[in-house]
Structure 1
Amino acid sequence: MTQPLITTAQLAAHLGDPNLRNYDCTTYNEPVPPGSDVPYRAVPGDKTFAAGHIPGADFLDLQGEFSDTSAQQLFMMAGVPQLGAAFGRHGADASKTIVLYSIGTMMWSTRFWWMLRSLGLDAQVLDGGFDKWKDEGRPVETGAPKGYPATTFKAAPRAGLFVDKTTVKARIGDSSTVIVNALGPQFHQGLEPSRYGRPGRVPGSVNVPAATLAKADKTLTTLADAEAKFAAQGVTRDKNVICYCGGGISATIDLLMLTQLGYDKLTLYDASMGEWARDPALPIETD
């Protein structure tokens, strides 16, 4: 299996590789008026891409091209035909070395990593993202994306990497499963109002916030530290692990760390609290 993380030094050494496909995956969540049907507005990071990006990179618009725009929730996983066509337009396929990065937080690149993984392709995420790349004084290019030659993306879907609310509800109280909330503790405990709907968490879920898995320089924490954080919440290798967050984005940081640690029974509740908190038929728990 391809290692899910790549360092800035490793990427810099391969910038001239004709087989490299490097993608900026940045999205920004902007506030919406109270009472809106969505918790935030998804804005693609094309402007910050134009202002500066890793030389040769292309830009991927998560909500615009790579999500099910007919769904009520933002960022819902699209069908294989849509995703295959979109990745093919951007020159991605199994014969290429695919590196994903984002600005501000790695969660946008880890989301694409998990999506590609579900389609049978093991990509790599740039540890620390564009922030670390810039901080190190590495080369930066400006302007609109030039893109890569189109390919035919042949998906080899892996089952079970995404689950829905029915599966999550059925696993509550199941001793073979641990459900992990990647949101901050104040939201996990229901101590603050939630932009997703009812405050609180999926009953019985434990809390390993994605934010606690990153260091000040935006790189991910050490494997030993991550292992300790998950173990403290009862996340062990014999368990089936379901991760969730607000919109199925930051939870993919948890999933990447767990993959690095050798866990293999992993899945993502795609709609997460954006669906769960708004459905009065689903149970919710607070402290």
Structure 2
Amino acid sequence: MKYATIVSTETLADHLQDPDWCVIDSRFDLAHPGWGGAEYQKAHIPGAIFADLDRDLASPITPASGRHPLPLPDRWQSTVSQWGITPATQVVAYDSAGGSLAAVRVWWLLRAYGHSRVAVLDGGYPKWLSEHRPLETVLPPARPIIPFSGQLNPRFWVSVEDLIHLYRDSKVRLIDARAGERFRGEIEAIDPVAGHIPGALNRPYTQNLNPDQTFKSPAQLREDFGKLLGDIRPQNIIAYCGSGVTAGHNLLALEIAGLSGGKLYPGSWSEWIRDPERPIETGA
């Protein structure tokens, strides 16, 4: 069976010894960038490979970029090659933040590069721990290197140049995954300018989750997004956040809801505000 959105802890536990499954630990903390790697060294799901958001899932920041630019294609291809995946490999990514940091970046990148057998562990590492499932503290044996030649599909994303021409289009809706107070510009503890891209709607990624950090049901998510978006076609949705990572959470939630086709603006707010000529809004 192919899993392309989320996978349960029970299902993953049943496949820990399956050579056609690959588990990626992508735990990360924006305030403490080395935290995820340190936690991985302490313990992780058996067989999991660690992927660091800054090193493996993004490229270096430039004067014009956001805080987590997409990895350069050749670097990403090299990273995935070292994971040893084939078209038949089921990849499962997990983190400790309901999928937001940074399992959804793994999910989105692999899909955008043509590997559709990728899912996020529903409930993530905290749920795995709460169920007293197995852990290991040693590094897993290296997987065989299998060349990965996937190419970034332009249907999955928009550039800042694209967005300048799209954000005022009445048929297009931007969805901002940041917390409401950041969206409204009431506080901004991370980026130097507060507010949001004009016309954007606010859907904090936390609204996609149940109290136990599992995703809401497809029916509930479909109802939620229906109220938010009205008759906007899913293909005309553009997701963003602060740096293009948690935005993927809303795209994953849309997929779970059966609303496929939304795009990511990877540069997100931190790239948009690099140019003072680009307009911003505050308030709801």
TM-score w.r.t. the length of structure 1 is 0.90
Q: Report how far residue 97 of structure 1 moved.
A: 1.4
1:263-278 aligned within 5 A = 263-278=259-274
Contact conserved, 1:24 with 1:102, CA < 8 A, in 2? yes
Between stretches 84-93 and 140-149, larger displacement belongs to: 140-149
1:125-274 aligned within 5 A = 125-234=120-229, 236=231, 238-239=233-234, 240-274=236-270
Deviations, residues 83-116 of structure 1 (Å, cap 9, x unaligned): 1111101222323111111123311111110010
Alignment-derived partner of residue 48 in structure 2: 57
Mapped partners of 2:247, 2:200: distance in 1: 13
Q: Report how far residue 145 of structure 1 moved.
A: 4.3
Mapped partners of 1:193, 1:100: distance in 2: 29
Contact conserved, 2:103 with 2:120, CA < 8 A, in 1? yes
Contact conserved, 2:197 with 2:279, CA < 8 A, in 1? yes
4+ runs deviating over 6 angstroms: none
Mapped partners of 2:175, 2:193: distance in 1: 18
Mapped partners of 2:177, 2:212: distance in 1: 20
TM-score w.r.t. the length of structure 2 is 0.91
Mapped partners of 1:282, 1:75: distance in 2: 19
Q: Any gaps of 5 or more consecutive residues in structure 1? A: 31-40
Q: Any gaps of 5 or more consecutive residues in structure 2? A: none
Between stretches 8-17 and 216-225, larger displacement belongs to: 216-225
Mapped partners of 1:260, 1:86: distance in 2: 27
Aligned Cα root-mean-square deviation (Å): 1.8
SS at match of 1:163: coil
Contact conserved, 2:222 with 2:258, CA < 8 A, in 1? no
Mapped partners of 1:116, 1:236: distance in 2: 29
1:106 and 2:107 aligned: no
Between stretches 185-194 and 54-63, larger displacement belongs to: 185-194
Mapped partners of 1:49, 1:200: distance in 2: 35
Contact conserved, 1:181 with 1:245, CA < 8 A, in 2? yes
Contact conserved, 1:235 with 1:241, CA < 8 A, in 2? no
Mapped partners of 1:235, 1:202: distance in 2: 20
Q: Report how far residue 47 of structure 1 moved.
A: 1.1
Which amino acid is the alignment partner of residue 159 of structure 2? D
Correspondence for 2:57 among 47, 58, 66? 66
Mapped partners of 2:128, 2:251: distance in 1: 23
